[in-house]
Amino acid sequence: MATAAHNSTAVHNESGHAALMDHVYRHQRHIYNLTRKYYLLGRDRMIRELALASHEHVVEVGCGTARNLIHIAKRYPGVRLYGLDASAEMLSTARESVRRHGLEDRIVLAEGYAEEMTPALFGRDAPFDRALFPYSLSMIPDWRGALKAAGQAVNPEGRIHIVDFGDLAGLWPPAARLLRAWLRLFHVAPREEIIRGLEVAPKAHQFALLPGRYAFLASLNPTNACDI
Ligand SMILES: C[S@@+](CC[C@H](N)C(=O)[O-])C[C@H]1O[C@@H](n2cnc3c(N)ncnc32)[C@H](O)[C@@H]1O
């Protein structure tokens, strides 16, 4: 498995966001997959709907424990996968998990910021076919910058896929308030601007809401993904 070791140093020296993510996930990473499956809804639907061909190259931005990358590798034989995360703690769990599943030859992990993501970070000189943001834009401070970087890193014929918290407007208001307070503890902020943008977006982007507007799924055209 290749990792961008030089980037590890850069991330930790330059900003507090990576350190904040490490702080959030230092202990949580051990129970992350078990606990998150009950509330990071829509990730398996996103994976099913990717309908990947075996030659495709797919990057997950904010890959956490590599849970999604491992599911994708098993569902789509032949696909090459890349995972970027700002947290060295999360990546250490991801590396261990990738190794345990014997997928080191198909999943490349790198430490770095979504806002600065390029194929070169993974040693590639060609663009990706897809970029995935499963529940990461709600934690990425400059989410527009992250979409812009992905738009440049993905082939114009490719797609950018997002699944993330919705505006919660269809939930019972006290439940929505409680959920927001819970998410704030983990520095998660539902990106309501994305939903508002997608509701009026051109057909090149596709968009679906889960019940209660709890979460949304979107598939974006990379050439204008950052305009939403
Ligand atoms: C809620 S977790 C989602 C993990 C994974 N995508 C999943 O579905 O299980 C968000 C992840 O985004 C990462 N992250 C947050 N800000 C980031 C940034 N600016 N650049 C890269 N990764 C970031 C966090 O470290 C964390 O691993």
* Residue 165 tokens, joined: 């918290």
pLDDT, the chain, mean = 90
pLDDT of residue 202: 67
Residues of the chain with pLDDT > 70, as a percent, come to 92
CA dihedral 105, 131, 24, 121 (to 10 degrees): 60
DSSP SS3 for 151: helix
pLDDT of residue 36: 81
Tokens 């910058």 belong to 145
Is pLDDT larger for residue 216 or for residue 11?
216
Q: Is 134 in the pocket of ligand 1 (CB under 6 A)?
A: yes
Q: What is the pLDDT of residues 46-59, one digit of tens each?
A: 999 999 999 999 99
pLDDT of residue 35: 76
Tokens 């503890």 belong to 185
d(CA 60, CA 107): 10
d(CA 100, CA 56): 23
Domain hosting 207: range is 5-227
**Number of domains the chain contains:** 1
Q: Find the mean pLDDT for residues 174-201.
A: 92
Taking the centre of ligand 1 as the mean of its atom positions, its distance from the CA of residue 171, in whole angstroms, is 25
For residue 25, the domain's CATH number is: 3.40.50.150
Q: How many CB atoms lie within 10 A of CB 53?
A: 10
Q: How many CB atoms lie within 10 A of CB 48?
A: 10
CA dihedral 127, 63, 199, 156 (to 10 degrees): 0
d(CA 95, CA 99): 6
Ligand 1: which of 15, 132, 139 to mutate, most ligand atoms within 8 Å of CB?
139
Q: Is 111 in the pocket of ligand 1 (CB under 6 A)?
A: no
Is pLDDT larger for residue 205 or for residue 208?
208
CA dihedral 186, 192, 195, 200 (to 10 degrees): -170
Q: What is the pLDDT of residues 63-72, one digit of tens each?
A: 999 999 999 9
Q: Is 93 in the pocket of ligand 1 (CB under 6 A)?
A: no
Tokens 């090149």 belong to 204
The set of residues, in sequence order, having a beta carbon less than 8 Å from that of 44 and lying 6+ positions away, is 71
Q: Give residue 213's pLDDT band: very low, low, confident or very high (50, 70, 90).
A: very high
- Using an 8 Å Cβ cutoff, are 139 and 21 in contact? yes
- Tell me the pTM: 0.91
Q: Flag whether pLDDT at 60 surpasses 60.
A: yes
- Using an 8 Å Cβ cutoff, are 219 and 154 in contact? no
Q: Is 42 in the pocket of ligand 1 (CB under 6 A)?
A: no
Q: Flag whether pLDDT at 14 surpasses 80.
A: no
* Residue 195 tokens, joined: 């939903």
Quick one: which of 33, 36, 34, 132 has its CA closest to 82? 132
Q: Give residue 112's pLDDT band: very low, low, confident or very high (50, 70, 90).
A: very high
